[in-house]
Chain A
Amino acid sequence: MEYAIDYVLIPLIKIGVVFGALSGVIAYLTLLERKVIAFMQVRLGPMRVGPHGLLQPIADGLKLMLKEDIVPARADRWIFTLAPVITLVPAFIVFAVIPFGPTIHIPAIHILGAAIPARDIGLFITDINIGALYVMAISSIGILGIILGGWASNSKYPLLGALRSAAQMVSYEVALGFSIMGVLMMAGTLSLVGIVEAQRDSGYWYVFLQPLGFILFFICGVAETNRAPFDLPEAESELVAGFHTEYSGFRFSLFFLAEYAAMIVISSMAVTLFWGGWLRPFPNVAALAFLGIIPGIGWFALKVLVFLYAYLWFRASWPRYRYDQLMKVGWQILMPLAIANLIVTAILVLVFGGAK
């Protein structure tokens, strides 16, 4: 009975909550993007559907689902349908390891005479001891979906666009991986819960100890998700309209959701690895203990929102890099910097020892 509750019921509830919350957040992220960018551009954004456009995502979702299902003539039907799924699923399952808050204590519940004993529940679906590696590996699978999408369209331009997107993502994956190694060395563990706890124990968010690592991580993260200023492969003024040219309706919405889910993944990872996860600001300063009123999950959400806002801010403000410049930045600037950061951190960890 305990086994059933601990290993089946509670995880199912957690998965349901996370999946539901994530879907809602992704949907409203699309609205947030349009509103934030509109306000930055001295206009109002969606205003008609619901008060201040609040029902817009529902309208958009319905529209995409009800659209005509077009498959190009000689496209490979199976792969054409599978590709967006391959892109979307990894983005969602990454959230299995991300800690949203500290371990909470649920008191005993009495229903129908039976008692469910009290237990401590960690606010994460699972905590595997190779959490960071899991995230990096699973998010790489999404690239496969993009290539398949371009391939299955059976058309020159989406294929070229897909290959360019994929090449960009792969290049920045390398730098991304290097940039988080400093954090891993300092925390001593790959487990994401362990990393947050290491930040709590050391008393500092890792962004203060690894500023360069954080900057590199975020830049590479923006490039990973094909967002501005690295969004040339899917820019409108390009010849090659990107891998999702031939997609419409529901399949397109899956690609679209995958992009926003990936944004949330990168933001969550940045928060977890560098910004203390669910810790309050300055966990080592007792004077600010009153900030503990806001639960850990609230701090987590707030920090993720800050990063998402940064994503939108970048999109509104900056022009986009040309493809060759983009690759140059990834390989010739960011990767050497990431390796340098790694070496310096390694030396410092060795010299000073411990979790500092």
Chain B
Amino acid sequence: MSTNETLFDASELTVSMGPQHPSTHGVLQVKLKLDGERVIDAECVIGYLHRGVEKLGEHQTYGQFVPTLDRMDYIAAVSNCLGFCEAIEKMLGITAPPRAQYIRVLMTELNRITSHLLWLGTHALDIGAMTVFLYAFREREEILKIFENYCGARLTTHMFRIGGTQYELYDGFEDQVRTFIKDFPKKVDEYETLLTQNRIWIGRTRGVGAITAKAAIDIGLTGPALRGSGVNWDIRKAKPYAVYSDFDFDIPTGSMGDTYDRYMVRMEEMRQSARIVSQAVEKIPAGPLMAKLSKIIKPPVGDIYHSIESPKGELGYYIVSDGSTMAYRARVRPPSFVNLQALRQMVAGHMVADVVAIIGTLDIVLGEIDR
């Protein structure tokens, strides 16, 4: 601004949100171009958490690489593990034994609930409803206790191995899971009473960040963000992996593709995940935990792409193998990275206060975006 202009002469204001935020979401910088209160354009600056995971994949053996992947989407670490182990198992042509598959599905769905609870807490907190954050974390604490009892870690769990799972279920596992799942749908109803019919919540989320199904597919949105726009696509149903085809669950979709619909989709997904867990915990078969495979994992020469439905969207692994113990190229297709691209079109024309709501509704994890 020149010295003769005052603050009120400038028609456009460029404001930088972040990279340090009072609200969570990690180190993301959003450069907003404002016209008064309205956002004209938004540019995301990412890379503050880039750790070179894909480069590490080329220098670590497949077994060593699995815990590195936990650190990507640290909130849904179990899904990262599952996707990669399945990709390598596909290349090796082996399947994990049924017991391991059931444990995998059970843990992955519990992790989906954890991830959505964290999303709910932080999203509500950004919009001002502080209490939901604490209620969601109360439930999340129960699941993290289960994780800790099972594998020793709460967040970056490294639960599965290539070929199955390593740890046997501990005594009292089924009871602990059953106790949790019995009460969980009521807890989701409790969160809903605080938010779903609240006129302030509706005012802050209806019509905010709407995106049509066509635009969503074009920009590559996946996961609950895509389902909120009405596209009924979930990899667990479209291309079932692990033993998802054995379970009975529905895929919720929205209609208008705005923040409110995405919120309803995720709430319903939590209930459906609880449904899967309650079925899984009854059906775990007896048997071995690991498939027979050599200690040294050397997949055949070639490449594979395997994707799973992580809580954030389609998490894909593209592995190129040159026959050695380390991958030639270990590419991770991060759902949050592609979802964040949609931010630009979603915030255009909205107010500054909506930007935080839209970032929250996309449910991004910077660890996954930056890898």
Enumerate chain A interface residues (CB-CB to B < 8 A). 37, 40-43, 156, 159, 228-229, 231-232, 235-239, 315-325
Contact = CB atoms under 8 A, between A and B. Distances in A.
A232 B351 CA distance: 13
A229 B127 CA distance: 10
Contact of A323 (B22, B23, B37, B129): B37
Residue with the highest number of chain B CB atoms closer than 10 Å, among A37, A43, A316, A321: A321
A237 B133 CA distance: 15
15 contacts: A40-B131, A41-B131, A42-B135, A42-B138, A156-B7, A229-B128, A229-B200, A232-B128, A237-B23, A239-B352, A320-B128, A323-B351, A324-B37, A324-B351, A325-B204
A323 B353 CA distance: 8
Contacts of A239: 15, 17, 352
Contacts of A228: 128
Count class of interface residues, chain B: 20 to 34
A318 B134 contact: no
Contacts of A37: 130-131
Nearest to B129: A319
Interface of B: 7, 15, 17, 21-23, 37, 124-131, 133-135, 138, 194-195, 198, 200-201, 203-204, 351-354, 356
Contacts of A320: 127-128, 200, 204
A238 B138 CA distance: 26
B188 to A, nearest CB: 16
Given A156-B7, A232-B353, A237-B22, A319 B127 contact: yes
Contacts of B200: 229, 318-321
Given A236-B22, A315-B130, 20 more contacts: A41-B135, A42-B134, A232-B128, A237-B125, A237-B356, A316-B130, A316-B131, A317-B131, A318-B128, A318-B129, A319-B124, A319-B127, A319-B128, A320-B127, A321-B204, A322-B203, A322-B351, A322-B353, A324-B351, A325-B203
B12 to A, nearest CB: 14
Contacts of B127: 319-320
Contacts of A315: 130
Nearest to B22: A236
Contacts of A324: 37, 351
B124 to A, nearest CB: 7
Contacts of B135: 41-42
A232 B356 CA distance: 13
B37 A43 contact: no
Contacts of A238: 352-353, 356
B290 to A, nearest CB: 41
Nearest to B24: A237
